[in-house]
Amino acid sequence: MLKSNKIIVIGGGYAGLRTIEYLAKNRQNQITLFDKNSYHYMQTEVYDLIANEEDFAQVTQDLFTFCLGFDGNVVFCKQEVMNIDFDNKKVITDIQRYNYDYLVIAVGARTKFLSSIKGLKEYAHGIKSLHHAMYFKQKFEMSLFNKVREGGAQAKPLNIIVAGAGLSGVEISAQMASYSREFYDRNNFICRGLNIVLINSAKNILPGMDEKLVQKSKKRLNKLGVKVKNEKKVVELDGVNVSLSNGEVLPMDFMIFAGGIQPSPLVYKLDLEKNSYGYIETNEFLQVKKYEEVFAIGDCTTIYNDGKTLAPTADVAEQMAEYCAKNIENLILDKELQAYKIASRGMLIALGRNYASSKVLGLYFNGYIAYTVKKLIERLYALRLSRVAKKGCKKIFEC
Ligand SMILES: Cc1cc2nc3c(=O)[nH]c(=O)nc-3n(C[C@H](O)[C@H](O)[C@H](O)COP(=O)(O)OP(=O)(O)OC[C@H]3O[C@@H](n4cnc5c(N)ncnc54)[C@H](O)[C@@H]3O)c2cc1C
């Protein structure tokens, strides 16, 4: 009988699932996926979740049925990994210890609530977890409704602060502005006051992104009435007001913090080489230093293109997964490993309902076409996962 390869994947995000899709094709690979949640959360669609374009079922995929949908060689364990004993090749979860031959660490990142900002953790919301995004979505809708209940043109405006003008901060600001505008327009409500202020510590929004996309996004935010405050930092919030680094004090009903990410808590516990921001360092084959059978991919690590750090995106995470899967196969077959060559394949920025700005394969598209392309990519991704999960579901109900 042929020996099976015990592979453990930690994290059912974009990187983890793509790795499984590749490795599961080889029936000798016995794969176990660990995730602390029972679902895969499609963070790239959170802007539509908040604006009620999608419900939570559309931005999640059940991990149990997904794993069951393969040919009997993938198993899902809803367990949080607490530590890893690299020398003895054991993953330690909140329940048990599991052996592996090969290990993939794909635990992603989470919102970095800076302790230097007073009141941030207490009064601001992150959107990196579905739980927080759902809470915020409901709060946003309820606030709009409360304005309608107050009624009249005199109703106090609703003040929403978004801190951080990277991709997620920009997309969410635009989507909320455009959604609320339609919300009031549709039924001709007159209690329209909604102030969305985007606080940005850098000189310009979307730092590091293509200049044309930055300019388009700026114009669009302006058109939607989002006020952008560049080169300002949030220094304190008390639930009623936000104080900025230039002494300005802004009223707030609620705040989203999209001002930074940090690796998932597990990464801090691991006895591995990390960079100065705490992300796992890998070699050109995506192996961690010291352990050739251990790979780290996705947002919990950092990779480079021409010496420059690549922005952590789902696109990059999936490309890393493909290299990682190939290299595990190469290790098993005692073949030469492949050095990664990864670059962003395109950028699509959602800027309100039915509008996006994009650069794909060097070409720029704006407006409805770009939005349609973005939605198509997201739908195809969800469909790909759902096809596998449907097979898994069928197995359960046929039993
Ligand atoms: C609002 C927003 C918009 C975005 N828009 C885009 C976009 O348009 N395009 C794009 O390419 N990217 C976008 N991104 C970035 C993209 O979502 C991330 O880069 C991507 O999710 C990274 O994938 P990952 O697999 O590394 O991590 P994740 O998708 O975060 O998955 C990590 C998984 O690990 C699990 N996990 C963590 N710790 C443990 C543990 N100890 N034990 C077990 N399981 C654990 C988590 O539950 C999670 O399922 C956006 C992000 C946000 C927040």
* Rounded-to-integer distance, Cα 8 and Cα 309, Å: 27
pLDDT of residue 296: 98
By three-state DSSP, how is residue 4 classified?
coil
pLDDT at 193: 73
Q: State the pTM of this model.
A: 0.94
Please tell me the distance from the alpha carbon of residue 287 to that of residue 279, in angstroms, as a whole number.
Answer: 13
Give pLDDT tens digits along the chain (399 positions).
567 999 999 999 999 999 999 999 999 999 999 999 999 999 999 888 887 888 899 999 999 999 999 999 999 999 999 999 999 999 999 999 999 999 999 999 999 999 999 999 999 988 888 988 888 888 888 887 887 787 766 677 889 999 999 999 999 999 988 888 887 777 766 556 788 999 999 999 998 889 999 999 999 999 999 999 999 999 999 989 999 999 999 999 889 999 989 999 999 999 999 999 999 999 999 999 999 999 999 999 999 888 888 889 999 999 999 999 999 999 999 999 999 999 888 899 999 988 999 998 889 999 999 999 999 999 999 999 999 999 999 998 876
Say how far apart CA 336 and CA 127 lie, in whole Å.
Answer: 40
Q: State in Å: Cα 214 to ligand 1 middle.
A: 23
Q: What angle do CA 192, 224, 310 make, to 5 degrees?
A: 135
How many angstroms does the Cα of residue 15 sit away from the middle of ligand 1? 8
What residue segments make up the domains of the chain, in order of their start?
A: 5-111+262-345+377-398, 120-259
Q: Closest ligand 1 atom, CA of 107?
A: 34
Asked whether 111 and 260 are in contact (CB, 8 A), the reply is yes
What kind of architecture, by CATH, is found in domain 5-111+262-345+377-398? 3-Layer(bba) Sandwich (3.50)
CATH of 120-259, one of 3.40.50.300, 3.40.50.1970, 1.10.260.40, 3.50.50.60: 3.50.50.60
CA distances (Å), 362 to each of 212, 347, 351, in order?
Answer: 12, 10, 20
Q: Cα(372)–Cα(117) distance, rounded to whole angstroms?
A: 38
Count of Cβ atoms closer than 10 Å to residue 152 Cβ: 9
β-pair type (60-62, 39-41): antiparallel
End-to-end Cα, the chain, rounded Å: 28
pLDDT of residue 379: 95
Return the residue whose CA atom lies nearest to atom 21 of ligand 1: 314
Residues with CB under 6 A from ligand 1: 10-16, 34-37, 43-44, 46, 80-81, 106-108, 127-128, 167-168, 171, 264, 266, 298-299, 312-315, 317
